[in-house]
Amino acid sequence: MSILRRSTWPCCMLNTDRFTPYEFWCEELEAGIPTWAIGRKFQNGKTVWRENGLALPEVRVPLLMGIWGSAFCATLSHYYKEVQPAMRALTVFASLDALISEREEDLVKLHPINPAAIPNYALGMREYLPSSVPESIHQAQNFQLMDAGMSNNLPIYPLLRPGRDVDILIAFDASSDVRTDNWLRVADGYARQRGIKGWPVGAGWPPPEETAEELQQDLAEAQAKSEEQAQQKIQQAQQKENTKKMTGKSKELGVCNIWVGSTEERTSEGEPPESKLVEEDWELMHPGAGITVIYFPFMANSEVPGIDPKTSDFMSTWNFVYTPEQIDSVVDLASTNFQQGAERTKRTVRAVYERKKKLREERQEAEKERRQRWKLRQGYGAGRRIGDGDHGDHFS
């Protein structure tokens, strides 16, 4: 959930770190309010009561649903991309598409539907906010809210904040475009920007298929002039496929996919190597293992026929009305996918727990030995000093 920029004063932009049933928090402001207080006016960190001595009641769920609905935050560019496939049959499509493409930079800035506005809860808090907060925050009377799904569809940033020290992150990706828009990999940039150690770099869907030119080049290189050369080409292809499996770059991901990062310091200044898919539980037991990501993409399953998040019309981003049967099918698909990965999820949690337990026991043992050595040194020193005194007394 984010608050996006609008150029019309007196509203302004900031990115919220979390919007939960309990708290509405902004990372940039390092400040927030209880969720039940959204809609109230604030000054100097205190509620500004209305003339009747009361405050506004909690914001109703329908308004919150409007804020969270990605269709309401879409730009003209997003709307065009949705209707673009249906317009290809038009005779003027090519010229129209070229014209719209030229104005892409303008279209991404226009929101046909205005966002919701709430009072700025940071008014009068200048001395308590970070110096990096822009001046507009201290002057704007309202914030405008809209869902950030168009730019970041997985709300995992709150779990990566400094101090959370998350060991396992389970991401359920219900996006209809999980294969084309790699939302999980977007977190790479966030982790790098925030200096988060242990994030599994490269986690997410594998790169797109090869282009036609690349395929043609592969075919040309694969031409063999002899049986011996043909066998060599086959071996090279097998080795290439094995490399993809070892690096986790297979063509498709399953319903449950696991990556683990590393906390080990790197000496090279180049790009860090991408994390490979975890195949065995022992891979999670390395002492330098970092954050473990368990990724459940919402995808079609042969055990639940008749529904595919990618092709089923009723699962479009723009549909807000579901029949009871459609709801049951969505729930059934989600439940089936999770059940197929439930056992592996349990094993992953257990493996990470055992790793943490082993490291804790090693630290405790090391601390115990350190204390014993310290006591021996202290006792030996005290005995020598007292024994050399006039009374000759010794501690037992």
| Co-location of 305 and 343 in the same domain | yes
CA angle 3, 4, 8 (to 5 degrees): 115
Tell whether 354 is covered by a domain.
Answer: no
My answer on whether 267 and 141 are in the same domain is no
Of the residues 121, 145, 169, the one at which a domain ends: 145
Same domain, residue pair 116 and 197: no
What sections of 261-323 are H helices per DSSP?
none
Task: Decide which of 145, 167, 190 is a domain's last residue.
Answer: 145
Q: Are residues 127 and 250 in the same domain?
A: no
| Number of structural domains the chain divides into | 2
What is the per-residue pLDDT for 297?
93
| The pTM of the whole model exceeds 0.75 | no
Element (H, E) at 196: none
Contact 299, 252 (CB under 8 A): no
Say what the pLDDT of residue 331 is: 95
Computed on alpha carbons and rounded to an integer, the radius of gyration of the chain in Å comes to: 29
Q: What's the domain range around 16?
A: 11-74+111-145
Same domain membership, residue 196 and residue 119: no
Tens digits of residue pLDDT in 59-94: 888 878 777 776 666 777 777 776 666 666 676 777
Q: Are residues 116 and 202 in the same domain?
A: no
**Whether residue 323 sits in one domain with residue 261:** yes
In Å, what is the CA distance from 323 to each residue of 87, 113, 250, 329? 28, 26, 37, 10
Q: Please give the structure tokens belonging to residue 70.
A: 């990605």
Which parts of the chain sit beneath pLDDT 70?
1-18, 70-73, 82-89, 91, 108, 148-151, 176, 208-251, 266-271, 317-318, 380-396
Residues 48 and 164 in one domain: no
* DSSP string over 76-102: HHHHHHHHHHHHTTSTTHHHHHHHHHH
DSSP state of 63: H
DSSP string for 106-135: HHTT--SSPPEEEE-TTTT-GGGS-TTS-H
> Does one domain contain both 163 and 184?
yes
- Report pLDDT for 179: 76
Phi, psi of 258 (to 5 degrees): -130, 135
Same domain (yes/no): 137, 237: no
- Residues 203, 116: one domain? no
Judge whether 375 lies within some domain. no
Q: Are residues 117 and 187 in the same domain?
A: no
Give a yes or no: residue 100 inside a domain: no
Q: Which of 101, 120, 145 is the last residue of a domain?
A: 145
Q: Is residue 88 part of a domain?
A: no
Residue 94 resides in a domain: no
The per-residue pLDDT for 237 is 57
Residue 378 domain-assigned?
no
Structural domain includes residue 389:
no
Tell me, yes or no, whether 130 lies in a domain: yes
Q: From residue 284, give the alpha-carbon distance in Å to each of 69, 190, 235, 266, 281.
A: 37, 23, 31, 19, 6
Cα–Cα distance between 206 and 220 in angstroms, integer?
Answer: 25
